Amino acid sequence: MDSKKKYSKFTVKMQKKLVVLFFIVLLAFVGLSYRLITITRDNGERYKKQVLSQQRYDSTTLPAKRGTIYDTNGSILATSEKVYNVIVDAVAVTEKEEYLEPTLNALRSQLGIDTGEVRTYIEANKETSRYRVIAKRLEYEQIEGFLELQNKEDSLIKGIWFEPEYKRTYPGNTLASDAIGFTTNDNIGSFGLEEYYNDVLSGTPGREYGYLNDDSNLERTTIPAEDGNSLISTIDINIQSIVEKYLKKFDEEYKDNAHDGNGSLNTGCIIMDVNSGNILAMASYPAYNLNDPRNTDALIGMPILDEENKRTGEYIKAENLGAITEDNDAFYRQLNALWKNFCINDTYEPGSVSKPFTVAAGIESGSITGEEKYNCEGKLHVGDHDISCHNTWGDGTLSVAEGIERSCNVNMMYVAMQTGVSTFTKFQHIFNLGLKTNIDLAGEARTATVVYNANNMRLTDLATNSFGQGYNATMIQMITGFCSLINGGYYYEPHMVSKIVSPSGATVQNIEPRILKQTISESTSRKVREMCNLVVSGENGTGHTARPAGYMIGGKTGTAETLPRGNNEYVVSFMGYAPVDDPQIAIYVVVDRPNVPGYIMDDAKFATRIVRSILTEVLPYKGIFMTEELSDKEREELAALQIEIMTPPVTEEPGGEAGEGETPSGEGSEVPSGEGEPEEGASGEGTPEEGEEAPPNEIWKTFPIDPATGYAKDPNTGEYVDPETGHVLGGSYDLGISAEPQGEAEASPSPEAQ
């Protein structure tokens, strides 16, 4: 009892302590209150502005529209369309309870958005979040119904707004994909024109700022976006479409032929205006859809690459595609191989299309006159090597012009030796081989390391370089230099854009044709043209099958054996021009390892047939008149293609008048019509009559035609021979151990599109 009284007694001492503690707390409270009053009085406005200025809505980015890319006729190749991101303001939606369900119902019914996830997000962030993207890149037609409901006077749909941006679209899908390139999700150009002219096209985003005036009211100021400038390209959408049609047709004909995969590793074509450097068309196969560049369907048929970007020997098929796409590194390795532009990025040994360059260098330097004659016995001993000609029986004594016509390697080796290493390498540089052309496209390869110079070229290198082996080039290098050979010697810088225009349509910059240098004289150019004309019109020309119905063209065929030598893999090509008397356009087609058996892979007709098909449609479209009489077969072909026969106006000629429907035939009009190939079982053009003996160097004319392939077959060796030219197919030539490219070409880096 006494104990309870002891512990329950509240002593005076304890009471005093409690009073002291009370006054201390009271004093602290009074001090804190005073401090809050002084802060509000002296700094209240500053803190208020600071808080308000941190609100998200006070600064908004206004997107700029990326400029349009047009073809030379004004057709749209690439454009930007306004789209909208759907934004939810969780605070506004939950401001009143009756807003939530109508808003979610409208999102579901009008926009097709999964409202379950949206509801969960709103509930979790109803007091904090005012910005969340719940759908991206909807077109106006998709959001129009929602806006109508939201804008009704009694609408309960709240907290949803639409943020504008632009989406890049390509009306042609795969059309000119190599030349145009595409943009990443953040509107940055990748590859082609999109990357090269990214700064011109992209424009400058605007901003809308919020700020507080002296009365602490939020006011806004807007800096409008500046849309990007547009490009008028040199591409002609009609010519581009023709080119791509026949590249695709070639692939369809030869895919999965000798092995699984596309019709070739790469098939490329460039058409250029001879007298300006304008690129009228540029394409390679396989192509890809610019609106969906990561679509894996385009990868099927391509070779599988290892970590060093070398072919593994296997090809992408539907069965193994999944394994590639699951490996991110492998997937982007294959995509980058698809996206790169073969016409400017890949290097290869050009082969015999380089022979006109060899002759031009010899004539221009005064090393030869072009009238010389050299004897071909089927090979030439140079250094420690016997370097073969295509015609292993020998072409006999040929003039330089006949050497071009027949594509005689030995003839060209003699020309190069007469020219000498110093002069030969000097002219390779003059023709821009080993140097960039500076075409206005992203990704052009630098090839200085894959050509020789006077210090490292030996005699065998000179010999093999004379016919286009032992050094590497790109398609754009070859055709640009070739144009200078046939247009009087004027080297134009190749370009893809002729004009830059502002969003209002005003011209910002005209890009005029630019002559960089004169490679050869007009007289040398004329001689080279005359020689190249024989390739198509001459009796023994290798390019008969490139001639389109009704026209005579000039040019040069090419075949080159790839590395390692003896692998029976070849690059075949044809580089030509039309018309022969006044070249206006040049065309270059390269077929990189056509998908055929190796023993017939080095047949230039895989390229010449593509050229013939393309020019059959392009020349009438360009308004170039026919000069050659048409056979019945050719008339049927043109009728099937619905191509008008472009005969020149009838004019009186000295000694008589041209008959109705007749056109004067130019030199070489006796070239056989059609593709110039022997019919199945036929003996081939120029075959001696029975009992007539063929000259020793034309013994191949007596060989029987293999009905399965259409080629002549040597009964002694079993080798296949072109029945028109005598070229042994699938042959491996001793090019000398040093006659290999000196290194690897370097391509301009292009950012990996993510």
Q: What is the DSSP letter of 94?
A: T
pLDDT of residue 212: 53
Instruction: Fill in the amino acid letter for 432.
Output: N
Tell me, yes or no, whether 717 lies in a domain: no
Residue 214, pLDDT score = 57
Shared domain check, 327 and 229: no
Average the pLDDT over 720-734 and give the result. 75
* The pLDDT value given to residue 660: 36
Residue 678 has pLDDT above 70, yes or no: no
Walk across the sheet containing 206-212 and list its strands. Answer: 59-62, 206-212, 218-223
Of 515, 516, 497, the closest CA to residue 507 belongs to 497
What's the pLDDT score for residue 130? 81
Assign 57 a pLDDT band (cuts: 50, 70, 90). Answer: very low
Q: Are residues 111 and 221 in the same domain?
A: yes
Q: Considering 336, 356, 385, which residue would you say is the last residue of a domain?
A: 336
Mean pLDDT is lowest, of 38-47, 276-285, 444-453, for 38-47
Q: Which of 36-50, 391-405, 560-574 has the lowest mean pLDDT?
A: 36-50
CA angle at residue 71 from 67 to 74, to 5 degrees? 80
Using 50, 70 and 90 to split pLDDT, how confident is the model at 238?
very high
How far apart CA 174 and CA 128 sit, in angstroms, is: 46
* Structural domains counted in the chain: 2
* Residue 204 and residue 324 in one domain: no
Range of lowest pLDDT (288-297, 428-437, 708-717): 708-717
- pLDDT in the model for residue 124: 87
Same domain, 316 and 210: no
Any domain includes 153: yes
Least confident of 444-458, 629-643, 739-753: 739-753
Asked, for residue 464, whether it belongs to a domain, the answer is no
- Both 67 and 179 in a single domain? yes
Give the CATH number for residue 98.
3.90.1310.10
- Stated as kind and residue range, the H or E segment containing 108 is helix 100-111
Q: For 412, list phi and psi in degrees, rounded to 5.
A: -70, -35
Residue 342 resides in a domain: no
Please state the rounded mean pLDDT for residues 42-58. 54
- For residue 66, the enclosing domain spans 60-233
Cβ atoms < 10 Å from Cβ of 240 = 25
Domain boundary among 233, 248, 280: 233
Closest by CA to 283, choosing from 191, 189, 177, 190, is 177
Rounded to 5, what percent of the chain is helix, strand, coil? 35, 20, 45
